């Protein structure tokens, strides 16, 4: 793939990729081990989407992730793995797998940023992990990918900072960090990916897309698509538990780089091509994977 001039980026919440030892560290009963059937379906989803670089959320340990890649025939394609243990108490971490080498891996798990309305400071719920990727084989990175998994929508305990405020603070911090760091690399494609636990219209994602103060508008790769082609949760739209479908998963980039976007899509697979599993996407995770292809030379 030397000389490749395009790159397909994916993001995927893989839902509790816990091996037995991970579950034991996390306290056991709250965290079931991910089943072999679910792991098989997860591998098939990744294989069929065929992205070059994939941001993953809800990975536990690097050992478990590498074992998954090795046992499911994905390690020959995804030779490069970035995994940094983050701030989540259960060990629900973010990671990146790639067909192309990383030139740098940067964690922001220890960065502190202000909460809204002077409520103090916080850190990312997991991390805001950045990888710089060499796609074309020429010295230097062609892409910077950030990924995060924002605070869930579960209500905070009495007396604690609200989950909404934490997600808003995380969104503001993501925009600030990426904006400042990428000033050093003008012209380089960069994307913010992950499960932000909010849709494009919600305050935390708007803090990334449209922060105001004359700053550039950024774009969600699924912008403008009908709901049927944009909603990423739940993977099975018939299992909403009373909630409306949402686009929790995002690939975001500066509007000035819109000409680089070739295509974007969600990946919903029903019948497995490899096993007798009927609903392969919802067997793998409660989220759908999304991908976006970019022309690096545009």
Task: For residue range 222-267, list pLDDT tens digits in order.
Answer: 999 999 999 999 998 777 676 889 999 999 999 999 999 999 999 9
Question: SS in 3 state form for 8-67?
Answer: EEEEEEEEEECCHHHHHHHCCCCCCCCCHHHHHHHHHHHHHHCCCEEEEEEECCHHHHHH
Taking only the tens place, the pLDDT of each residue in 185-207 is 999 999 999 999 999 999 999 99
Residue partners of 197: CB distance under 8 A and separation at least 6: 149, 150, 151, 152, 153, 167, 204, 248
Give the model confidence (pLDDT) of 21-53 as tens digits. 988 887 765 678 999 999 999 999 999 999 999
Domains, the chain? 6-295 (3.60.10.10)
Token pair for residue 51?
């992205």
What digits encode the pLDDT tens for the residues 99-119? 999 999 999 999 999 999 999
Mean pLDDT across the stretch 138-162? 95
DSSP string, 213-239: TTPPPEEETTTT--GGGT--BSSSTT-
Burial status of residue 92 (CB atoms within 10 A of its CB: 0-12, 13-18, 19 or more) = buried
Tell whether pTM > 0.85.
yes
Nearest to 286 by CA among 17, 10, 72, 9: 17
pLDDT of residue 3: 63
pLDDT value for 239: 74
């Amino acid at each position: 793939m030397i000389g490749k001039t395009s790159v397909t980026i994916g993001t995927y919440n893989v839902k509790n990729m816990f091996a037995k030892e991970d579950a034991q560290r996390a306290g056991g009963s709250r965290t079931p081990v991910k089943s072999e059937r679910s792991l098989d379906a997860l591998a098939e989803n990744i294989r069929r989407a065929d992205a070059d670089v994939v941001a993953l959320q809800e990975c536990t340990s690097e050992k478990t992730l590498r074992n998954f890649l090795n046992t499911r025939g994905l390690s020959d394609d995804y030779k490069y793995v970035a995994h940094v243990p983050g701030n989540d108490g259960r060990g629900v971490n973010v990671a990146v797998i790639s067909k192309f080498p990383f030139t740098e891996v940067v964690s922001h798990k220890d960065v502190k940023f202000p909460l809204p309305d002077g409520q103090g400071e916080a850190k990312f719920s997991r991390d805001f992990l950045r990888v710089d990727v060499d796609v074309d084989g020429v010295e230097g990175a062609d892409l910077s990918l950030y990924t995060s998994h924002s605070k869930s929508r579960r209500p905070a305990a009495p007396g604690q900072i609200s989950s909404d405020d934490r997600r808003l603070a995380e969104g503001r911090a993501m925009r600030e960090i990426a904006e400042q760091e990428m000033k050093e690399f003008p012209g380089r494609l960069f994307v913010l990916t992950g499960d932000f636990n909010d849709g494009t219209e919600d305050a935390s994602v708007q803090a990334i897309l449209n922060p105001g103060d004359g700053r550039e508008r950024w774009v969600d790769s699924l912008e403008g698509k009908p709901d049927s082609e944009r909603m990423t949760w739940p993977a099975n739209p018939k299992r909403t538990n009373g909630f409306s479908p949402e686009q929790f998963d995002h690939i975001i980039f500066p509007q000035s780089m819109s000409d680089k976007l070739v295509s974007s899509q969600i990946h919903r697979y029903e019948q497995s091509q490899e096993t007798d599993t009927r609903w392969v996407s919802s067997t793998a995770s409660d989220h759908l994977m999304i991908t976006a292809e970019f022309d690096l030379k545009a």
